[in-house]
A and B are shown apart, each in its own frame.
Chain A
């Protein structure tokens, strides 16, 4: 049983840590939104794993709240950027959003060649 504890929490922690790295690296806001979404799901999974392994149902209502929170957060950010894009003629640079990170990276790699 100890091995099961170590394995599950190790895998959950590794996944959460990698999601955190992506959250820090970016490069764009939407990458961070996707990473936060995944991180919250992993947290919910960790709570459920704890509830299951320890036979402790007190944490189960927290699960409902966390899964609600993940949905509301990502939809909120998507709608916020979508609202800015609606006033823009192109991809949002003319209303104050920065240049898309993927395009910047592509141009940088072309310049190196």
Chain B
């Protein structure tokens, strides 16, 4: 029993150390990378893998079902929310030109420019979509999808 517990402790401490190392890498990446998208790439390392490792390590050490369920909840919540917030922030960053466009390999939003076709992530008090331009935009997108 005690040998098993020691083994569990060693594994848990290794997970905790790895997670802490990922947090340190995130800080270094945030400081060294050139624009918002690359900084976000560095900052998301501890958001998913680091938090997962630390949660597993903590769950092994804590050994109680209530704590384990709550740590599992935090991990699942991180995996659900990290892509959503990253998507929203990077979209705004592109529109605000906080992205080094000369360093992009693929730039699919470049032709779109102003959003004339609403896609469901605009605020409730946004000015109404203009039907004619939205229709033209939709037809253009459908044609581009067909040729692709």
Assess whether A30 is in contact with B96, with CB atoms less than 8 Å apart.
yes
Assess whether B30 is in contact with A92, with CB atoms less than 8 Å apart.
no
Assess whether B77 is in contact with A64, with CB atoms less than 8 Å apart.
yes
Which of these, A9, A11, A48, A52, contacts B21 with CB under 8 Å? Answer: A11
Whole-angstrom CA separation of A93 from B109 in the bound complex? 19
Which residue of chain B has the shortest Cβ distance to A98 in the bound complex?
Answer: B96
Known: A49-B54, A61-B70. A83 touches B46 (CB 8 A): no
Whole-angstrom CA separation of A83 from B114 in the bound complex? 13
Residues of B within 8 A of A (CB-CB), count: 63
In the complex, the number of residue pairs spanning A and B with C-beta atoms less than 8 Å apart equals: 212
Using Cβ atoms and an 8 Å threshold, which residues of chain B touch A38?
26-27, 30, 43, 46-47
The distance from the CB of B137 to the nearest CB of chain A, in whole angstroms, is: 15
Which residue of chain B has the shortest Cβ distance to A80 in the bound complex?
Answer: B123
Using Cβ atoms and an 8 Å threshold, which residues of chain B touch A79?
88, 121, 123
Using Cβ atoms and an 8 Å threshold, which residues of chain A touch B67?
51, 57, 60
Instruction: Give the interface residue-count category, chain A.
Output: 35 or more
Assess whether B121 is in contact with A82, with CB atoms less than 8 Å apart.
yes
Show 23 residue pairs from A and B whose CB-CB distance is below 8 angstroms, ordered by the A residue. Answer: A4-B16, A7-B17, A30-B96, A34-B40, A34-B43, A35-B39, A37-B47, A41-B47, A41-B78, A45-B46, A48-B55, A48-B58, A49-B20, A57-B62, A60-B71, A70-B85, A75-B85, A82-B92, A82-B95, A82-B123, A85-B96, A100-B96, A103-B97
Given contacts A86-B115, A102-B35, 12 further A-B contacts (CB under 8 A): A4-B13, A11-B20, A31-B98, A37-B43, A41-B78, A45-B23, A48-B51, A63-B70, A78-B85, A81-B96, A85-B92, A97-B96
Residues of B within 8 A of A (CB): 12-13, 16-17, 19-21, 23-28, 30-31, 35-36, 39-40, 43, 46-47, 50-51, 54-55, 57-58, 60-64, 66-67, 70-71, 73-74, 77-78, 81, 84-85, 88-89, 91-93, 95-100, 114-115, 121-123, 125-127
